[in-house]
Amino acid sequence: AILKQAPYAARWKYLLAYSSQGSVGVLYLLTTFVLVVQSETVIGMFLNFAALGFIAEVDDIAFVLARKGYFTDEAKHTCEKVTSLLTPNAGSYRVRRGIFVFLWLVLMSGLGVIVHNQKYGTFQCKKIYVQFNDDFYPQLPFFSGDYEIDTKRRRDG
């Protein structure tokens, strides 16, 4: 069907385009996942999302500018040809659903590993420094200093 509309099309170009787009999507999801897990503040997380959103839209903005003729006439003509192509839709619902389920399972398993490690103290601080002042209780500053986790006396194992 596409070969009738565009004789210059080739199967390898089709596969390369879709695999590139899919890999960009997977990398975007993984980057978002890592940013959510590593964010220390809510504002930092929102700033990271804003930056990712801008980067994700750069190629769409470039395509719109090329389609409106801001670059070259050849780029405008190519964008018009690409926009008018109709792709077959056979079996795409199953493929999209399968990819969605696969990505969901990968992300949930990654989250499960992080939750498991967090539950058993892998990411926990081994040492903490505490500074008390004497506003509430005059002898409280005597308890200031470094505190280390005693793994033998922990209640969670």
> Comparing 72-76, 105-109, 153-157, which segment has the lowest mean pLDDT?
153-157
Q: What percent of the chain has pLDDT over 90?
A: 20
Q: What is the pLDDT of residue 90?
A: 60
Q: What is the pTM of this model?
A: 0.53
- Asked if pLDDT for residue 1 goes beyond 80, the answer is no
The residue with tokens 């040492």 is 127
Q: Report the C-alpha gap between 58 and 22 in whole angstroms.
A: 17
How close are the terminal C-alpha atoms of the chain, in Å?
63
Angle between helices 11-38 and 42-67 (to 10 degrees): 160
Query: Six-digit token pair at 120?
Result: 């058993």
- Given a contact cutoff of 8 angstroms between Cβ atoms, the answer to whether 111 and 133 are in contact is no
Query: Six-digit token pair at 6?
Result: 């565009």
- Sign of torsion over alpha carbons 28, 29, 30, 32: positive
The residue with tokens 């385009």 is 17
In tens, the pLDDT along 80-117 reads: 988 887 777 766 788 889 989 998 999 899 899 989 98
In tens, the pLDDT along 18-31 reads: 899 889 888 888 88
Q: Report the C-alpha gap between 30 and 23 in whole angstroms.
A: 10
Q: What percent of the chain has pLDDT over 70?
A: 92
